[in-house]
Amino acid sequence: MRVRKNKYGKIEWLDNEDYDTTTWQVGSLEHNLINLLRRISNESKQNLHQEEEKNSAGVPTVKSFYFAQIDDITHWINGNVEYQRIEEIARGLSLVRFPKETPESAFSNLPISTAYALTAIVHNRHIPVDNQNLILPRVPTLLEKLAAGDCYTATKLAANRLYASGLNPAIRDGIFEPSDRTRRIASSLAFPISRSTIVRLVKHIVKFDHQDSKD
């Protein structure tokens, strides 16, 4: 369903469904989050020219002031959350105006999924490296491989993308994960992460001896 502001400036739900543009439909929370990512990707393609102008200026495509904690994402990927309960409150939370700044945990208490780190870095594309903003080219099939439960191909694509962009990932081959866990990794890409979290993910999987030259 969709929302809009009424004449009093209040946000309200629309009664009608527009199935051409509505993302949140019948299905699991995981399924809807993946569909949300597909919608964002499709809209980005439609606005490619505007996006490239932003990219040339080093401006991230998607801005957010509220970021997910890496441990919370890890719990999601591991299946240690109450998905039904989250789904029940998701609609209500979408109408809440959150503070513009949120504190971030300084450390991760849980092991970070290497498959998530690889795919999240490539999905976000804007990578802080040597005090600069490296913008990775898109990997069009990355999300679909994850959504299909094919972790090996998705992570191999991500590792190759990093290597081709001048980074040196410790993982050069694909990573095998169960298909259900892989789909949770796919849906977790919908959770916005901060610049500092991206830096931590890069440190998790990248060797910092950058390629001296390109083949």
Closest CA to 119 of 170, 154, 163, 67: 154
DSSP string over 76-104: HHHT-S-HHHHHHHHHHHTT----S----
52-100 pLDDT, tens digit each: 545 444 444 445 567 889 999 999 999 999 888 888 887 777 777 766 6
> Of 30-34, 112-116, 208-212, which gets the smallest average pLDDT?
208-212
- Contact between 6 and 12 under an 8 Å Cβ cutoff? The reply is yes
Amino acid identity for residue 54 in this structure: K
Inside any domain, residue 119: yes
Inside any domain, residue 215: no
Cα–Cα distance for residue pair 111/119, rounded to 1 Å: 16
* Residue 51 confidence (pLDDT): 52
Inside any domain, residue 213: no
- Contact between 74 and 112 under an 8 Å Cβ cutoff? The reply is yes
Inside any domain, residue 7: yes
Inside any domain, residue 200: yes
83-93 and 29-46 helices cross at what angle (nearest 10)?
50
* Residue 107 confidence (pLDDT): 62
* Residue 66 confidence (pLDDT): 76
Inside any domain, residue 84: yes
Query: Which domain covers residue 173, as residue numbers?
Result: 3-207
Inside any domain, residue 201: yes
* Residue 56 confidence (pLDDT): 47
Closest CA to 189 of 128, 139, 152, 146: 146
Inside any domain, residue 183: yes
* Residue 15 confidence (pLDDT): 53
Structurally, the chain folds into a number of domains equal to 1
89-132 pLDDT, tens digit each: 877 777 777 666 556 655 667 899 999 999 999 999 999 887 78
